[in-house]
Structure 1
Amino acid sequence: MSLDSEFKAELEKFLADQGKTLLDLTESLSDSSSTNASPPIEPKHDTVPETVVKHIVSAPSSHRRRLRLFSGRRPVPNGEADFDNWRRQTQLIVDADDLSESEKISRLTEALLPPASNVVWALGKGVSAKDSLEGLEKAFGTTSDGEELYLLFTECYQASEEFPSDYLLRLQDLLIRAQENDGINAGRMDKARVHQFSRGCLYNDALLHTLALGKRLPPPDFVSLLHEVRQEEQKEKEKEVKRKSGQKGKGCHEQVVPQETDRVAELHEMMVALQHQISSLMPSGSAAAQARPEATNQRSNGRQRGPRKPAYRLICYNCGKDGHRMDECNGETNAVLVQQKIAARNQPAGNAEGRQ
């Protein structure tokens, strides 16, 4: 693609975005050159795009914003607007004093697609922008009267998991439609909006308590109320983030507990193994202990030399203390003390076996 053809394609694309054509550009350039007394200066080839763009941008008509497309089809196609929103934008153009009638009708018709464009065409040639908008209102506007629309407003409630700000926006749309069809006076809109929001916001009692809308006179307007609601939503969102971060920290702390439980179970298995080893060493001592009762009974009537210590004392293999068994222990596990007691028992201590 040559430089000239590439520039022409880019220029046509730019003009299309601005609602212009090459013919409009030619007429605009010719008008500008006729009013300029100075001789024209031949621009260099590399400065032509910049010169043309500056001229188009500086033109007063290039600052206008194009209306969104509207066809009247249902469901509303992608890229188009529904009639209520489109009509409100168009009404601003129709009521503008700085636009000529031809400019108004031009901007209105260029945003229409069939079947909406057929309605304006059926109104006849030379129809005004105001009459065109009224014709479209009859064809695609609501058929409900103001009282019915206001009733819809009073029966609008917050949906589950719907943010209060989104609910307020839905309320505002219904309230505007009711007001446009004489369902409510403009002076009563703030009071009606606050009343229905307090009544229909079903899932955010804390927010309503904070705003205390019923005690505020005069009631806040729509913009102020929406701003306050969004502020409270942001505060609640920050609290929720902090709560979640706190739960994550608690979860990390609780992850240590299973490791400690595994360690206790491991120590318990070690205690059981040690108990089995000790039980295997017990028979010889038990036999000696069973052989002595007769001699002990024979000397029971004689002189006693004092209390005789048992050969093996009871040791708890859980806490390591004397006087009770492991199945009777309520204390904490002390593996170090248990091992010390077992080691001390297995070592010979003086005349532990008694006299022969």
Structure 2
Amino acid sequence: MSDTVEVTTTSVPTTNYPPASFFMDIGKLVESVRKMSSPSVNYGYRKLRIFSGVQPVPPGEEEYETWMEQAMQALEEWDVPEAQKKQRITESLKGVAAEAIRNLKFSQESCTAYDYLRMLQDEFGRTEKATDLIFLFEHMFQRENEQLSEYIRRLNKMLYQIVLKKGIEARDMDQVRMKQILRGALSSDPIWIQLKTLQGGTSLQYSDLIKMVREEEAILEEKKKGSGFSFAAEVRTLNVSNGNSEVDQLKAQVSQLMQMLTLLSAGVKSPLEKVTSEPVPESTTQVVPIKKPSNICYNCGGVGHYRNTCPSPSNARGSYRPAGNYRGPQ
């Protein structure tokens, strides 16, 4: 009888470790929870400048429109809870502006950061209604010699006012802005033509739109500078070549007119033979002088004899006086 030994092998289980992305996700989750649990911690955000609503604006403070534009942009960028947004806005206010927010809190228990800005808009902003601002916005057109980028900035300022007045929603700003640009910009602007031909009528965001427009304006400015010198030289050449002949012709015409006026004032009936530049036949230019008779009778006025040999009876003195400076016998 033979002894048999049975050997059994046990498999060691292998451990599957999670990938590195798992730990990165866990780290992000912990960071977001930490931010939510401690909203009062300052994470290095750029504070808004002080606004008090006092006129004239004290040194170190912002005017209302400038402050409001910065506040609107900050609300879109701050990735913090609503309570912290309101705190950041409140810490940039003082004086009359801070009192306006305090009154809002008393009258409205649950209010948002946008409600703060709307309250400041009612207190210090434009007094027009939302419909009036929309009307003004739709009638804002690009001025002559105004760059398209400047026109877009003017539109954007008005858009912020309309959003604060609840005339449009903030998510519709890009579409409304692009629509007004296509309608109000100068059709002769080459950048307007490019915006007009965008595929599908795409409404660009403000950052992409202003970047594109400013780059195109810079290209056009460089082309203008590059072609300015040759164009000016060409204009000067044309003036020199054509100007002398025209000036000479004008001088000749003025000289002829002066001669004609001189001859007319002297009583000459036909001055053309002296002022015309073309040769005139000699027969037409010769003037036959009329010789006045010298033997005129001062008694009867006849010609061919004198008074002392006049066959007519003697007249009274002064009965006949010829034309001229004759004063009678001395």
> Which of the pair is proportionally richer in helix?
1
The structure with the larger Rg is 2
Q: TM-score range by the shorter chain?
A: 0.3 to 0.5
Q: Structure 2 length normalisation: TM-score?
A: 0.46
Q: Structure 1 length normalisation: TM-score?
A: 0.43
